């Protein structure tokens, strides 16, 4: 379980993280989503004690990270896959992590196999691709058999197959009672992986909640061969709409006050055929993401400078 309360941090006069409160429950994967420079990494680094918050607290299972006697037995962290000694082999890197955690180094071979690096185990990390470093980093987080994982942009550098693999691994970890907090700016990756979502923009949380709830608040897409008829039908039913391309209409659900059924009934009343009626899920999260962050993106330039 990861809990932060009102984490706040500034560098000079520039606020980087403002009042960020997170709560990650065991058995769930929480996505920490935001554009580059939104404060995701700084927040994660404050949780693991690498950066010091101006105020606010963070705890892992009720204790501050820096008070954990042997943190890698509780929390696996992967903050930057490029932060590995280029001169060591993958195997040596994991051996050090295992030794430090007090685990048997016999575990190293198993972990190398788990992340698909058995063949590259005795090559120096300096020759690894970013994707291979991510895999090695994941292996390193699992060394101490932790119950919490904190991952900063874990999908970076992974190919689609690697991303699918990581998704399965994290899902399995959470299903067995683990807690996962991962940051990302890859919207589709987050959408397919996480249960909970925290969207951050310019250092502040702008939305959080279960993924399904956040997505449900988007809009409906209606398609008809008779656009004039449908426009008439929606108007007469008092439903607001925006015409889209290819005879489609987008209808805002207004927090569930407009339902697909209402649209279907309106169409039936006016005898307008519908060929499609669904949640406009394609890019639903994307829309949410951009609507939440776009307004602030223009200012981030000045704010950061």
Partner 1 sequence: MTSATMTSPVRPVDAQSPGAAFPAIPFSRLLRVEWGKATDTRAARWLLALVAASTVGLMLAPLLAPSRIDQTYTSYLRFAAVGLSILLPIVSILTLTSEWSQRTVLTTFTQEPRRIRVINAKVTVSLLLAGGAAVFGGLVTAAGLGVAAATGRELDANLNTGVLVGYLLFVLLSVATGVAFGALLHNSAAAIVLYFALPIAFALLGRASTSLGQWVDSGTTFDWVLNGEWSGHTPQILATVILWVALPVAAGLVRTVRREINDIAQLQRGEGHGRRITKIRRPCPWRMTRVSWRNYGSLSRTPPRPTAAGRSEPPSSAGRSSHHGNLNPHVL
- SS3 letters across 193-258: HCCEEEEEECCEEEEEEEHHHHHHCCEEEEECCCHHHHHHHHHHCCCCCEECCCCEEEEECCCCCC
**Residue 201 in contact with partner 1, rule: CB under 8 A:** no
Gap between the Cα atoms of 136 and 108, Å rounded: 11
Binding mask 235-274 for partner 1 (x = CB under 8 A): ----------------------------------------
Q: Per CB under 8 A, does 12 bind partner 1?
A: yes
Does residue 295 interact with partner 1 by CB under 8 A?
no
Element spanning 190, H or E: helix 187-193
Site for partner 1 in 180-199 (CB under 8 A): 185-186
Instruction: Choose the binding region for partner 1 from 40-48, 193-201, 211-219, 248-256 (rule: CB under 8 A).
Output: 40-48
The smaller minimum CB distance to partner 1, of residues 118 and 270, is found at 118
4 near partner 1 (CB under 8 A) = no
Of the listed pieces 59-67, 243-251, 258-266, 276-284, which binds partner 1 according to CB under 8 A? 59-67
Q: Does 165 bind partner 1 (CB under 8 A)?
A: yes
Shortest distance (Å) from residue 114 CB to partner 1: 6
Stretch in the footprint of partner 1 (CB under 8 A) among 86-94, 242-250, 257-265, 268-276? 86-94
User: Is 283 a binder of partner 1 (CB under 8 A)?
Assistant: no
Of 73-81, 230-238, 246-254, 276-284: span binding partner 1 (CB under 8 A):
73-81
Indicate left, alpha or beta for 246 from its phi (over 0: left) and psi (-120 to 50: alpha). left
Q: Where are the alpha helices (DSSP H) in 12-148?
A: 40-47, 90-101, 107-114, 130-142
Cβ closer to partner 1: 147 or 199?
A: 147
For 163-166, the CB contacts below 8 A with 24+ separation are 163/189, 165/116, 166/134, 166/138
Indicate whether 127 belongs to the interface with partner 1 (CB under 8 A): no
- Please report where in the chains the tokens 């042997």 appear, as a residue: 70
37 has which bridge partners?
A: none
Binding of partner 1 at residue 104 (CB under 8 A)?
A: no
CA distance 269 to 73: 63
Which of 23, 123, 171, 232 is in the footprint of partner 1 by CB under 8 A? Answer: 171
Give the C-alpha separation, 102 to 192, whole Å.
Answer: 35
Between 140 and 248, name the residue whose CB sits nearer to partner 1: 140
Question: And the tokens for 278?
Answer: 């669904």
d(CA 19, CA 302): 21
304 binds partner 1 (CB under 8 A): yes
Of residues 55, 127, 159, 176, which one binds partner 1 by CB under 8 A?
Answer: 176
């Amino acid at each position: 379980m990861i809990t932060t309360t009102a984490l706040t941090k500034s560098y000079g006069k520039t606020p980087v993280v403002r009042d960020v409160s997170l709560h990650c429950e065991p058995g769930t994967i929480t996505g920490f989503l935001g554009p580059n420079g939104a404060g995701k990494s700084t927040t994660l680094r404050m949780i693991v004690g690498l950066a010091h918050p101006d105020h606010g607290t963070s705890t892992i299972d009720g204790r501050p990270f820096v008070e954990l006697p042997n943190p890698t037995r509780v929390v696996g962290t992967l903050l930057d896959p490029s932060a590995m000694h280029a001169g060591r082999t993958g195997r040596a890197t994991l051996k050090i992590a295992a030794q430090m955690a007090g685990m048997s180094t016999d575990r190293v071979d198993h972990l190398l196999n788990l992340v698909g690096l058995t063949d590259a185990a005795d090559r120096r990390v300096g020759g690894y691709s970013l994707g291979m470093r991510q895999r090695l980093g994941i292996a390193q987080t699992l060394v101490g058999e932790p119950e919490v994982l904190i991952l900063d942009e874990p999908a970076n550098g992974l190919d689609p197959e690697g991303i699918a693999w990581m998704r399965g691994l994290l899902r399995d970890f959470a299903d067995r009672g683990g807690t996962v907090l991962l940051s990302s700016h890859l919207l589709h990756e987050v959408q397919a992986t996480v249960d909970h979502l925290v969207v951050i923009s310019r250092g502040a949380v702008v939305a959080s909640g279960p993924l399904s709830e956040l997505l449900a608040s988007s809009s409906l897409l209606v398609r008809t061969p008779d656009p004039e008829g449908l426009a008439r039908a929606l108007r007469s039913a008092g439903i607001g709409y925006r015409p889209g391309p290819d005879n489609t209409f987008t209808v805002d659900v207004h927090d569930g006050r407009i339902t697909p059924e209402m649209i279907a009934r309106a169409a039936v009343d006016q005898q307008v055929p519908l060929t499609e009626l669904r949640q406009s899920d394609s890019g639903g999260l994307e829309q949410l993401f951009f609507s939440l962050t776009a307004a602030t993106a223009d200012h981030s330039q000045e704010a950061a400078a």
